[in-house]
């Protein structure tokens, strides 16, 4: 048998294939047997049907990634069936095969949503290459989806961890090791300490780096929708589910699923997630089908999961399942020496984005930054640098952690604001930030690097709106 050069000479299955489920629909038993024999050793599951009706039954009960579909079926044209499948929400790949082809049929097939079109008779390498292309297509489709949803976050992540302190050095060193294994990782640490940054670094350093990194914020999804967001749903699974949809687990196939704010996952969902992690299979909402998943899980929380377990808000078994590897990120006040690295790092990254020149930091200003307690951690420092670049001078009036009573250096805050005390500066600053986001408290809290609750307390104290 002659080999097509683009396919590996020994017919080895490309990475990712073994997870695929393929459905063959052809009324010729000879063709079905040939395809089944060729594909069974290479794929997770291969099913076959002799008619569109039989095929529809299988599709109803099982997850299918790819259909190899004959055009002339008894009583039904394959192209029209494909159109109907697409309307019902089938989002997998389709290769059409036919013995009698003309250009019009081919065009119609592609319009109906086929990924490829092959003429009978064909040889093994031809069909394997077509499948390979389909696999690539579906990988790209998933990647596009992920890119669309994470573009802004990704810009933030390209730089990796900065800092020479002992904790940061040790952390950076251990990341390479942890990235190499497939274990679940639990990231803990206060808000703004770099948990998402570490999650992305773990993905980028892992053998899954070419696969997708899919972040999921468990706190921002409505409890009713979170299950279908994660696991997908079948058509008609609930009111409004007019089409079947793939879940984020599926989009993370071959890559990493980042479960951010995992402590906010509702209890019933925790049980479902645990089952998925143990079986490496998921079941879309309203579906009978079990779908194999190949996903690495990284979870993060800024609460202590141990305390959440003790309080009965988090399942103990899921906690143990998640913390196979546990990393606790230190608050910035415990590695202040890294501020000297972080300031120029944020300057160098943000100045070009904002279209301004980096600022010089005087030794007095640096002293001040070192004395400050940084309740919002690295994020607060980053936000301070960003605002300072916009204003054209180090904007220390933005710093106001509770109990912080260090006087700002003469050259900056007191110069522009006169002899005001820190509290007044805080108040002015909070008001300015609130104004800049039209009073959106969540957004303001985020910009300030503090929790919404702290912001509300401050506003109440000073009778701000």
Ligand X SMILES: Nc1ncnc2c1ncn2[C@@H]1O[C@H](COP(=O)(O)OP(=O)(O)OP(=O)(O)O)[C@@H](O)[C@H]1O
Residues that bind ligand X (CB under 6 A): 156, 161-163, 189, 191-197, 302, 345, 378-379, 382
The C-alpha atoms of residue 173 and residue 295 are separated, in whole angstroms, by 24
Nearest distance, CB of residue 185 and ligand X, angstroms? 13
Which does residue 135 touch among ligand X, Mg ion, none (CB within 5 to 8 A, set by kind)? none
Which does residue 170 touch among ligand X, Mg ion, none (CB within 5 to 8 A, set by kind)? none
Closer CB to ligand X, 315 or 345, in the complex: 345
Nearest distance, CB of residue 198 and ligand X, angstroms? 7
Residue closest to 339 by CA, chosen among 378, 388, 386, 383 = 378
Nearest distance, CB of residue 113 and Mg ion, angstroms? 38
Residue closest to 453 by CA, chosen among 438, 440, 463, 441 = 441
Write down the residue that tokens 């099982």 correspond to: 62
308 near Mg ion, rule: CB under 5 A? no
The C-alpha atoms of residue 298 and residue 179 are separated, in whole angstroms, by 11
Among positions 174-203, residues that touch Mg ion (CB under 5 A) are 196
Peptide bond into 42 cis (omega under 30): no
Cβ-proximal residue to Mg ion, closest one: 196
Closer CB to Mg ion, 116 or 196, in the complex: 196
329 Cβ neighbours under 8 A, 6+ residues apart: 171, 187, 188, 189, 190, 193, 194, 195, 198
Contact criterion met (CB below 8 Å) for 296 and 251: no
Residue closest to 455 by CA, chosen among 391, 341, 376 = 376
Q: Quote the tokens at residue 116.
A: 């490829």
Which does residue 156 touch among ligand X, Mg ion, none (CB within 5 to 8 A, set by kind)? ligand X
Which does residue 378 touch among Mg ion, ligand X, none (CB within 5 to 8 A, set by kind)? ligand X
Three-state SS for 72? strand
Nearest distance, CB of residue 464 and ligand X, angstroms? 23
Q: Quote the tokens at residue 157.
A: 């992540």
Closer CB to ligand X, 47 or 162, in the complex: 162
Which does residue 161 touch among Mg ion, ligand X, none (CB within 5 to 8 A, set by kind)? ligand X
Q: Report how far apart, in Å, the C-alpha atoms of 77 and of each of 107, 109, 216 are.
A: 15, 11, 41
Closer CB to Mg ion, 109 or 300, in the complex: 300
Nearest distance, CB of residue 443 and Mg ion, angstroms? 15
Backbone torsions φ then ψ of 77, nearest 5 degrees? -85, 130
Closer CB to ligand X, 248 or 385, in the complex: 385
Closer CB to Mg ion, 108 or 196, in the complex: 196
Closer CB to ligand X, 302 or 401, in the complex: 302
The C-alpha atoms of residue 134 and residue 95 are separated, in whole angstroms, by 8
- Residue 40 is classified by DSSP as G
Cβ-proximal residue to ligand X, closest one: 194
Nearest distance, CB of residue 461 and ligand X, angstroms? 23
Q: Return residues touching Mg ion (CB under 5 A).
A: 196
């Amino acid at each position: 048998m002659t080999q097509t050069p683009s396919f590996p000479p020994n017919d080895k299955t490309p990475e990712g294939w073994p997870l695929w489920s393929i459905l063959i629909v052809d009324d010729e038993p000879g063709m079905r047997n040939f395809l089944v024999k060729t594909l069974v050793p290479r794929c997770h599951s291969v099913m076959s049907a002799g008619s569109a009706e039989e095929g529809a039954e299988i599709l109803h009960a099982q997850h299918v990634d790819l259909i190899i579909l004959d055009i002339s079926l008894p009583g039904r044209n394959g192209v029209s069936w494909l159109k109907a499948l697409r309307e019902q929400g089938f989002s997998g790949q389709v290769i059409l095969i036919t013995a009698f082809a003309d250009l019009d049929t081919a065009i119609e097939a592609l319009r109906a949503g086929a990924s490829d079109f092959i003429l009978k008779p064909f040889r093994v390498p031809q069909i394997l290459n077509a499948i390979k292309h389909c696999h690539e297509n579906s990988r790209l489709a998933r990647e596009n989806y992920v890119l669309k949803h994470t573009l802004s976050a990704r810009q933030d992540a390209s730089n990796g961890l900065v800092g020479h302190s002992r904790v940061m050095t040790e952390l950076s060193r251990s990341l390479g090791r942890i990235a190499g294994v497939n274990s679940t990782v639990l990231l803990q640490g206060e808000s703004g300490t770099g948990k998402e940054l570490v999650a992305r670094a773990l993905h980028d350093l892992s053998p899954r780096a070419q696969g997708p990194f899919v972040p999921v914020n468990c706190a921002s999804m409505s409890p009713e929708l979170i299950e279908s967001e994660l696991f997908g749903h079948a058509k008609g699974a609930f009111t409004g589910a007019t089409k079947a949809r793939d879940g984020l687990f599926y989009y993370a196939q071959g890559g990493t699923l980042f479960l951010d704010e995992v402590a906010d996952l509702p209890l019933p969902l925790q049980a479902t997630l645990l089952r998925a992690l143990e079986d490496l299979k998921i079941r879309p909402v309203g579906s009978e089908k079990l779908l194999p998943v190949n996903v690495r899980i990284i979870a993060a929380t800024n609460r202590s999961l141990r305390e959440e377990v003790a309080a009965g808000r988090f399942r103990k078994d899921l906690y143990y399942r998640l913390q196979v590897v546990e990393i606790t990120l230190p608050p910035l006040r415990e590695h202040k020496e890294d501020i000297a690295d972080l300031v120029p790092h944020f300057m160098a990254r943000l100045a070009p984005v904002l279209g301004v020149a980096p600022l010089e930091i005087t030794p007095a200003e640096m002293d001040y930054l070192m004395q400050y307690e940084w309740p919002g951690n690295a994020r607060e420092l980053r936000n301070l640098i960003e605002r300072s670049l916009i204003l054209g001078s180090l904007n220390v009036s933005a710093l106001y952690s509770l109990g912080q009573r260090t006087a700002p250096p003469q050259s900056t805050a007191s110069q522009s604001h006169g002899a005001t005390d820190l509290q007044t500066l805080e108040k002015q600053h909070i008001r300015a930030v609130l104004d800049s986001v039209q009073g959106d408290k969540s957004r303001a809290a985020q910009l300030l690097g503090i929790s919404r609750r702290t912001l509300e307390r401050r506003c109440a104290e000073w009778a701000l709106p």
